[in-house]
Amino acid sequence: MSDNKIFSAISAVMADINAVEKKGWNKEQKFSFRSIDDIVNELHSIFVAHKIFVIPEVVKEERSERITKTGAVLFSSRLTVKYTLVAEDGSTVSSVVMGEAMDAGDKATTKALSIAYKYMLLEVFCIPTEDQKDPDSESYDDIAPEQQAEAEIERKKKEDAERLRLAEIELKQKKFINEMKALKDSKLPDGSPVFSTAESWAPFSSMAKTHTMEETISATKAEVQRITDEFDKDIPF
């Protein structure tokens, strides 16, 4: 476009921008910062007034995993983002910036986008800052590669131990189920069932809800023995 209104629009936005106060606080590294919300809230109405909008485009993305000293896994996202500012006449100007962030969940990419957008706004519109510290509100205690390898080995050991623990529990549960089934099917000397009705078996089938498997098995065996002894007493000699 011949008029190239985007340049005059950017200058007009810069003239209208007020100082953006540092309201955020990084607890780990103990410094104040301007959050992305503070900057966007300041610029939104000014963009509307001067008829500017922004189109983001992720040019490149790199993902990786890191291990902290505590053994926690952090997901790292590094983005290269191209932001195109468009004026009402269709003229444009672009700015390519990088954003990097880490998160223990699924927010690393979202954080990296926010940081990239924030730096683009700060740099293109010359919003004054007092320092060049990383504006992230969260910090992570990353470790050296050799320590990271040791932490990864330790993490895998913990995972293996947990899998073994769960496998042992599963085996105990299967053994418990088989033992209870055998007790339920117990027979008296004359071939009749020890638990002749569903009602007589019910207290023991539901006992595991409030007792350990060992306690349930022990109580059920004791009941089988009691009923068998009662039966033997009734047999005439």
pLDDT in tens, the chain (237 residues): 456 899 999 999 998 887 666 666 566 555 566 677 788 888 889 999 999 999 999 999 999 888 776 777 888 999 999 999 999 999 999 999 999 998 888 889 999 999 999 889 989 998 865 544 444 455 555 555 666 667 677 778 888 888 888 888 888 888 888 988 898 899 888 888 888 888 888 888 888 788 888 888 899 999 889 888 887 776 655
Residue 81 CB contacts under 8 Å (≥ 6 apart), including other chains: 56, 57, 58, 59, 96, 97, 98, 99, 113, 116, 117, 120
pLDDT 10s digits, 115-130: 999 889 989 998 865 5
User: Structure tokens of 15?
Assistant: 């003239």
Which pTM does this prediction carry? 0.51
- CATH topology for 5-143 is Enolase-like; domain 1 (3.30.390)
